[in-house]
Structure 1
Amino acid sequence: MQMIRSIFNPKEFTGKHMLFAMLAFFGVIITVNLVMARFAVTTWSGLVVPNTYVASQQFNDKAAESRAIEALGYQVKLTPNAEGLEIDFIDSAGQPALADSMIAELRRPVAEHQDRDIVLVRDSDGIYRGKGQVLEGEWIATVTAIKDGETLYKRGWRFHVNADGSMTQ
């Protein structure tokens, strides 16, 4: 009987209860905003190019250069391993291609602290190899091959390195 009376006669909702509810509500909102602001300030800036206006003025020239390089028909098979990167560089006829220099610019999509360039050297088997561990996670590699001062190949690859060192694209 006592319980039935307490259901029908609830405690009074006072100004103290309202003050506590308002402080709890706005406290949660302010805390979440502060946490999100901290993450926004301390993580990657999102900067892709230093000056977007200058980059936009160079777009057509870079697009024409990319089309000309693509027309040469070179292909690359990129393979990360425990020691670094391996690249099989093939010409338009399907034969191993030669380059004076080959560089892979490795970048993380959302951070800069592990970004680096790997210089690849052609081994006797025709495979270009570069030393430098490629850690687990997402990567973007821009591979550039140059011969006699001319860019034969330049392309970006996005790939994921698994914990076992294997790669998925």
Structure 2
Amino acid sequence: MTPKRSPTEIGRFNGRHMTMILIVFFGIIMAVNFTMARLAVTGFSGTVVDNSYVASQNFNSWLNAADAQEKLGWTVQVKRRVDGRLQVEVSDRSGPLSAAKLSAVAVHPLGQKQSVSIDFEPSTQGDFLSSRPLPLGRWQLALTITKAGQSAHILKDLR
């Protein structure tokens, strides 16, 4: 039989209360830490380039190519249509580039989905339509535009 407790003992803070507070506190801390660690490991791989030395050797040529591309003055607008196909408008300072050739690779930014190659066909409105729909989600579109021996490589984010 348990001894009867007095009214002053009922509301007292004791060792059992402190133990429960510590268990709950550290349990929450551990749950948050494990969740954040899992998200960090399964998210971005951390690899930007495979070999940083080789990338540094190509850096100046990348800058020169970017300057030449900027001098072309080509602008690109990408829209996702209701049917999932991509509509791309390419223009320069004088207007739409309807005679250009366009191709793209859609890459998932975190590498969770397989990359998708996309071909484009010119439409009657002077823009380009993808030959097939792109699955929903967040994608980075690496466009290659070629016209009269000149080419441009443009990255666009799709959400």
TM over 0.5: same fold?
yes
Number of aligned residues: 153
Q: Can you give the 5+ residue segments of structure 1 that lack an aligned partner in the other structure?
A: 161-169
The structure-2 alpha-carbon separation of the partners of 1:17 and 1:9, relative to structure 1 and needing over 3 Å to count, comes to closer
How far did 1:108 drift? Answer: 3.1
How far did 1:141 drift? Answer: 1.7
- What is the percent sequence identity of the aligned residues? 29
The normalised TM-score by structure 1 is 0.70
How far did 1:83 drift? Answer: 4.2
The structure-2 alpha-carbon separation of the partners of 1:19 and 1:116, relative to structure 1 and needing over 3 Å to count, comes to same
Report what 2:109 is aligned to. Answer: 109
Report what 1:62 is aligned to. Answer: 62
Report what 1:19 is aligned to. Answer: 19
Assess if the C-alpha contact under 8 Å between 2:96 and 2:127 holds in 1: no
Give the letter aligned to residue 88 of structure 1. Answer: E
Deviates more, 1:60-69 or 1:35-44: 35-44
How far did 1:75 drift? Answer: 2.7
Give the letter aligned to residue 87 of structure 2. Answer: E
The structure-2 alpha-carbon separation of the partners of 1:88 and 1:28, relative to structure 1 and needing over 3 Å to count, comes to closer
The structure-2 alpha-carbon separation of the partners of 1:133 and 1:39, relative to structure 1 and needing over 3 Å to count, comes to same
The normalised TM-score by structure 2 is 0.74
Q: Secondary structure at the match of 2:138?
A: strand
How far did 1:23 drift? Answer: 2.5
Deviates more, 1:50-59 or 1:63-72: 50-59
**Mapped partners of 1:112, 1:54: distance in 2:** 26
**Mapped partners of 2:97, 2:149: distance in 1:** 19
In the alignment, structure 1 residue 157 sits paired with structure 2 residue 153: no
Q: Secondary structure at the match of 1:129?
A: strand
**Mapped partners of 1:96, 1:147: distance in 2:** 8
Report what 1:85 is aligned to. Answer: 86
How far did 1:135 drift? Answer: 4.1
Q: Can you give the 5+ residue segments of structure 2 that lack an aligned partner in the other structure?
A: 1-5
In the alignment, structure 1 residue 134 sits paired with structure 2 residue 139: no
**Mapped partners of 1:96, 1:35: distance in 2:** 49
How far did 1:62 drift? Answer: 0.8
